[in-house]
Amino acid sequence: MSDSAFNKNFPVSWEELHRHTRALSWRLAEMGPWKGIIAITRGGLVPAAILARELDLRVVDTVCVSSYDHQSQREARVLKNVAPAAEEDGGKGWLIVDDLVDTGKTARVVREMLPNAHLATVYAKPAGRPLVDTFITEVSQDTWIFFPWDIEPQYSVPIAEARLVQR
Protein backbone atom coordinates (compact mmCIF):
# COMPACT_ATOMS: atom_id res chain seq x y z
CA MET A 1 0.00 0.00 0.00
CA SER A 2 1.66 3.20 -1.08
CA ASP A 3 -0.90 5.69 0.29
CA SER A 4 0.53 7.37 3.41
CA ALA A 5 -3.00 7.96 4.76
CA PHE A 6 -3.03 4.31 5.85
CA ASN A 7 -0.76 3.74 8.82
CA LYS A 8 -2.06 0.36 9.98
CA ASN A 9 -2.47 -2.95 8.21
CA PHE A 10 -5.24 -5.34 9.20
CA PRO A 11 -4.87 -8.70 7.43
CA VAL A 12 -7.99 -10.87 7.51
CA SER A 13 -7.76 -14.63 7.01
CA TRP A 14 -10.42 -16.76 5.32
CA GLU A 15 -11.33 -18.22 8.73
CA GLU A 16 -11.71 -14.79 10.33
CA LEU A 17 -13.83 -13.51 7.45
CA HIS A 18 -16.05 -16.57 7.68
CA ARG A 19 -16.41 -16.26 11.46
CA HIS A 20 -17.18 -12.52 11.29
CA THR A 21 -19.69 -13.02 8.47
CA ARG A 22 -21.44 -15.78 10.43
CA ALA A 23 -21.67 -13.39 13.38
CA LEU A 24 -23.26 -10.88 11.01
CA SER A 25 -25.77 -13.55 9.94
CA TRP A 26 -26.86 -14.08 13.57
CA ARG A 27 -27.78 -10.40 13.82
CA LEU A 28 -29.48 -10.31 10.42
CA ALA A 29 -31.49 -13.51 11.01
CA GLU A 30 -33.47 -11.72 13.73
CA MET A 31 -34.34 -8.87 11.34
CA GLY A 32 -35.72 -10.93 8.45
CA PRO A 33 -37.38 -12.35 6.56
CA TRP A 34 -35.50 -11.05 3.54
CA LYS A 35 -36.70 -11.04 -0.07
CA GLY A 36 -33.14 -11.61 -1.23
CA ILE A 37 -29.57 -10.47 -0.96
CA ILE A 38 -27.65 -8.01 -3.12
CA ALA A 39 -23.86 -8.25 -3.09
CA ILE A 40 -21.86 -5.12 -3.83
CA THR A 41 -19.12 -6.39 -6.11
CA ARG A 42 -16.52 -7.44 -5.74
CA GLY A 43 -15.89 -7.29 -2.01
CA GLY A 44 -19.43 -8.24 -1.05
CA LEU A 45 -19.48 -11.47 -3.07
CA VAL A 46 -17.86 -13.75 -0.49
CA PRO A 47 -19.81 -12.39 2.51
CA ALA A 48 -23.02 -12.57 0.43
CA ALA A 49 -22.41 -16.24 -0.35
CA ILE A 50 -21.91 -17.01 3.35
CA LEU A 51 -24.97 -14.97 4.36
CA ALA A 52 -27.12 -16.54 1.63
CA ARG A 53 -26.29 -19.96 3.04
CA GLU A 54 -26.73 -19.01 6.69
CA LEU A 55 -30.01 -17.14 6.09
CA ASP A 56 -31.28 -19.67 3.52
CA LEU A 57 -31.64 -17.02 0.82
CA ARG A 58 -31.88 -18.31 -2.75
CA VAL A 59 -32.42 -14.98 -4.51
CA VAL A 60 -28.98 -13.42 -4.91
CA ASP A 61 -28.27 -10.37 -7.07
CA THR A 62 -25.34 -8.01 -7.52
CA VAL A 63 -24.83 -4.31 -7.90
CA CYS A 64 -21.47 -3.61 -9.49
CA VAL A 65 -19.80 -0.44 -8.23
CA SER A 66 -16.18 0.48 -8.81
CA SER A 67 -14.66 3.02 -6.44
CA TYR A 68 -11.07 1.96 -5.81
CA ASP A 69 -8.32 -0.45 -6.74
CA HIS A 70 -5.67 -2.02 -4.53
CA GLN A 71 -3.91 1.33 -4.04
CA SER A 72 -6.28 4.29 -4.20
CA GLN A 73 -9.86 5.49 -4.18
CA ARG A 74 -11.58 7.20 -7.10
CA GLU A 75 -15.05 8.38 -8.05
CA ALA A 76 -17.70 5.65 -7.64
CA ARG A 77 -19.20 4.33 -10.88
CA VAL A 78 -22.14 1.96 -11.24
CA LEU A 79 -21.17 -0.72 -13.74
CA LYS A 80 -24.30 -2.90 -13.28
CA ASN A 81 -27.56 -2.09 -11.55
CA VAL A 82 -29.80 -4.49 -9.61
CA ALA A 83 -32.71 -6.38 -11.10
CA PRO A 84 -35.96 -4.37 -11.39
CA ALA A 85 -37.66 -6.52 -8.72
CA ALA A 86 -35.13 -5.35 -6.13
CA GLU A 87 -35.81 -1.69 -6.97
CA GLU A 88 -39.52 -1.94 -6.15
CA ASP A 89 -40.41 0.05 -3.05
CA GLY A 90 -36.86 1.38 -2.84
CA GLY A 91 -35.44 -2.06 -2.01
CA LYS A 92 -37.62 -2.66 1.06
CA GLY A 93 -37.06 -6.19 2.37
CA TRP A 94 -33.74 -6.60 0.53
CA LEU A 95 -30.39 -7.09 2.20
CA ILE A 96 -27.39 -5.32 0.64
CA VAL A 97 -24.00 -6.72 1.63
CA ASP A 98 -20.43 -5.50 1.29
CA ASP A 99 -17.19 -6.52 2.92
CA LEU A 100 -16.37 -3.02 4.14
CA VAL A 101 -17.67 0.51 4.35
CA ASP A 102 -14.69 2.86 4.18
CA THR A 103 -15.35 6.49 3.21
CA GLY A 104 -18.97 5.73 2.32
CA LYS A 105 -18.71 6.55 -1.41
CA THR A 106 -20.00 3.17 -2.56
CA ALA A 107 -22.59 3.00 0.23
CA ARG A 108 -23.99 6.41 -0.74
CA VAL A 109 -24.40 5.35 -4.36
CA VAL A 110 -26.20 2.16 -3.40
CA ARG A 111 -28.31 3.93 -0.75
CA GLU A 112 -29.54 6.37 -3.40
CA MET A 113 -30.55 3.43 -5.60
CA LEU A 114 -32.20 1.42 -2.79
CA PRO A 115 -33.01 3.78 0.10
CA ASN A 116 -35.27 1.29 1.91
CA ALA A 117 -32.94 -1.72 1.76
CA HIS A 118 -30.91 -2.89 4.76
CA LEU A 119 -27.17 -2.31 4.27
CA ALA A 120 -24.85 -4.66 6.16
CA THR A 121 -21.07 -4.89 6.09
CA VAL A 122 -18.62 -7.11 7.88
CA TYR A 123 -16.20 -4.26 8.60
CA ALA A 124 -16.79 -0.53 9.05
CA LYS A 125 -14.63 2.57 9.31
CA PRO A 126 -15.84 5.72 11.10
CA ALA A 127 -16.38 7.83 7.95
CA GLY A 128 -18.76 5.31 6.40
CA ARG A 129 -20.28 3.77 9.50
CA PRO A 130 -23.36 6.06 9.66
CA LEU A 131 -24.46 4.72 6.25
CA VAL A 132 -24.55 1.09 7.43
CA ASP A 133 -27.47 -0.48 9.28
CA THR A 134 -25.55 -3.47 10.64
CA PHE A 135 -21.85 -4.34 10.86
CA ILE A 136 -19.61 -6.53 12.99
CA THR A 137 -16.13 -5.03 13.38
CA GLU A 138 -15.03 -1.40 13.35
CA VAL A 139 -11.47 -0.41 12.45
CA SER A 140 -9.85 3.03 12.47
CA GLN A 141 -9.99 5.18 9.35
CA ASP A 142 -6.21 4.95 8.87
CA THR A 143 -6.30 1.14 8.67
CA TRP A 144 -6.03 -0.75 5.38
CA ILE A 145 -7.81 -4.09 5.51
CA PHE A 146 -6.13 -6.83 3.51
CA PHE A 147 -8.79 -9.37 2.57
CA PRO A 148 -7.80 -12.99 1.96
CA TRP A 149 -8.34 -12.71 -1.79
CA ASP A 150 -5.84 -9.82 -1.93
CA ILE A 151 -2.90 -11.35 -0.09
CA GLU A 152 -0.48 -14.22 -0.11
CA PRO A 153 1.77 -15.42 2.74
CA GLN A 154 4.91 -13.35 3.28
CA TYR A 155 7.14 -12.00 6.04
CA SER A 156 5.49 -9.52 8.37
CA VAL A 157 7.58 -6.82 10.06
CA PRO A 158 6.96 -6.77 13.85
CA ILE A 159 5.14 -3.63 15.04
CA ALA A 160 8.05 -2.51 17.26
CA GLU A 161 10.48 -2.78 14.34
CA ALA A 162 8.16 -0.89 12.00
CA ARG A 163 7.78 1.92 14.54
CA LEU A 164 11.58 2.28 14.72
CA VAL A 165 11.79 2.62 10.95
CA GLN A 166 9.10 5.36 10.94
CA ARG A 167 10.99 7.53 13.42
CA distance 78 to 68: 12
Is 99 one of the annotated active-site residues of the chain?
A: yes
- Pairing of β 118-124 and β 60-68: unpaired
Catalytic residue among 61, 102, 133, 142: 102
Query: For 71-87, what is the HEC assignment?
Result: CCEEEEEEEECCCHHHH
Catalytic residue among 3, 61, 89, 98: 98
Opening angle at CA 81, ends 118 and 40, nearest 5:
50
CA distance 123 to 100: 5
Is 56 one of the annotated active-site residues of the chain?
A: no
Element spanning 107, H or E: helix 105-113
Catalytic residue among 61, 99, 133, 142: 99
Is 89 one of the annotated active-site residues of the chain?
A: no
Q: Tell me if the bond preceding 74 is cis, omega within 30° of 0.
A: no
Active site residues: 98-99, 102
